[in-house]
């Protein structure tokens, strides 16, 4: 693997001319949890063409490829990631045209929400506090405060694992609660097109301000975290189950269940990914033991032990 990653790095230098290419790059710099070991090779493409070429290169060479996104809904293990990690932070263009919003995969959905509000467009206010990228939001049908991606999406352009470009309609995306065909098929999002509605700017701004206050007052934004760790179990709220188990403030190493919101696990004191994952497993075990409810992860755990 040592020799291979140097070979990949050298070959990718001919592909990545406008982006960034790094070897043995620490991934804790790119994750919201501030956790994770190194990537063998990190690619930050400067253009969509470089993204496509990287995906095709990995497919043709049979190299593992991980799309990191904004690192907001992912826990990278301490052993890091073998193969290529694709980070789309440079593909962040957002364009507003009438009531349509076009956004590239690496753009933050918060920024798309802000631009929509500035253009007096309503429908994307729910995303004003979601800390992920457009690509990640599409993959998990992100939602909050009564709104979700499927309410506003028109179409999404993706790459298959082999690098074929597809344009998927709303129905073809198969969007459900925290799921999509993007996630199930392992597609790579290039961009998304949303359709909003004209609204009153004062009302939009007031709604954004209210949702921002709700988020800041209830979520532990002062510590690194992966956001809401567990999906909502049918008939329950994950945070309430965890709270009722008396788990707030408990954890492993530098990771603990947030005192502010039991659905969050925070990196409170230089936690390792192993600390974070051990805390996740503790929570799942205790909730199963007390309530016989199986908590399902909303976050994705990747990488080597």
How would you classify the pairing of strands 165-169 and 153-159? antiparallel
Nearest CA-CA partner of 130 in 70, 75, 195? 70
Nearest CA-CA partner of 137 in 191, 66, 98? 191
The DSSP string of 168-232 is EETGGGT-BTTB-HHHHHT-EEEEEEEE-EE--HHHHHHHHHHHHHHHHHHS-TTS-EEEE-BPP
Which 3 state secondary structure label does DSSP give 290? helix
Which of 56, 120, 215, 298 is catalytic? The answer is: 298
Tokens of 298: 């909303």
Nearest CA-CA partner of 130 in 96, 107, 154? 107
Residue 13: active-site member: no
| 3-state per-residue secondary structure call for 235-251 | CCCHHHHHHHCCCCCCE
> Could you give the CA distance from residue 192 to residue 283 in angstroms, rounded to a whole number?
35
Phi, psi of 275 (to 5 degrees): -60, -45
Contacts of residue 3, defined as CB under 8 A and 6 or more positions apart, other chains included, come to none
Q: What's the full length of the chain, in residues?
A: 305
Question: Cα angle at 69 between 67 and 74, to 5 degrees?
Answer: 85
Residue 52: active-site member: no
Nearest CA-CA partner of 255 in 229, 282, 279, 231? 279
Residue 178: active-site member: yes
Which of 113, 228, 256, 286 is catalytic? The answer is: 228
Which of 104, 133, 178, 180 is catalytic? The answer is: 178
Quick check: 202 and 160 in contact, CB under 8 A? no
Active site residues: 178, 228, 298
């Amino acid at each position: 693997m040592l020799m291979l990653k140097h070979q990949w790095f050298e070959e990718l230098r001919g592909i990545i001319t406008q982006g960034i290419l790094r070897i043995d790059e620490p991934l804790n710099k790119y994750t919201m949890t501030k956790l994770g070991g190194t990537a063998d090779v990190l690619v930050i493409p400067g253009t969509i063409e470089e993204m496509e070429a990287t995906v095709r290169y990995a497919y043709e060479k049979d190299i593992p490829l991980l799309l990191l996104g904004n690192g907001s809904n992912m826990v990278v293990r301490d052993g890091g990631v073998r193969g290529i990690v694709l980070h789309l932070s440079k593909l962040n263009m957002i364009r507003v045209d009438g009531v349509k919003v076009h956004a590239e995969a690496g753009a933050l959905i918060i920024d798309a929400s802000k631009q929509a509000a500035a253009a007096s467009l309503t429908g994307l206010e729910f995303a004003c506090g979601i800390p992920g990228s457009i690509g990640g939001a599409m993959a998990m049908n992100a939602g909050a405060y009564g709104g979700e991606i499927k309410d506003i999406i028109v179409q999404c352009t993706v790459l298959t694992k082999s690098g074929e470009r597809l344009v998927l309609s709303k129905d073809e995306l198969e969007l459900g609660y925290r799921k999509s065909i993007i996630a199930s098929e392992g597609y790579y999002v290039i961009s998304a097109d949303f359709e909003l509605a004209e609204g009153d700017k004062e009302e939009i701004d007031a709604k954004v301000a209210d949702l921002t206050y709700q988020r800041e007052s209830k979520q532990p934004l002062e510590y690194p975290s992966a956001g809401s760790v567990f999906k909502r179990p049918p008939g329950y709220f994950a945070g309430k189950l965890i709270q009722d188990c008396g788990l707030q403030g408990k954890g492993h190493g530098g990771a603990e269940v947030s005192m502010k919101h039991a659905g969050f696990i925070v990196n409170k004191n230089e936690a390792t990914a192993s600390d974070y994952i051990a805390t996740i497993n503790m929570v799942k075990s205790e909730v199963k033991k007390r309530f016989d409810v199986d908590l399902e992860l909303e976050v994705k755990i990747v990488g080597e032990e």
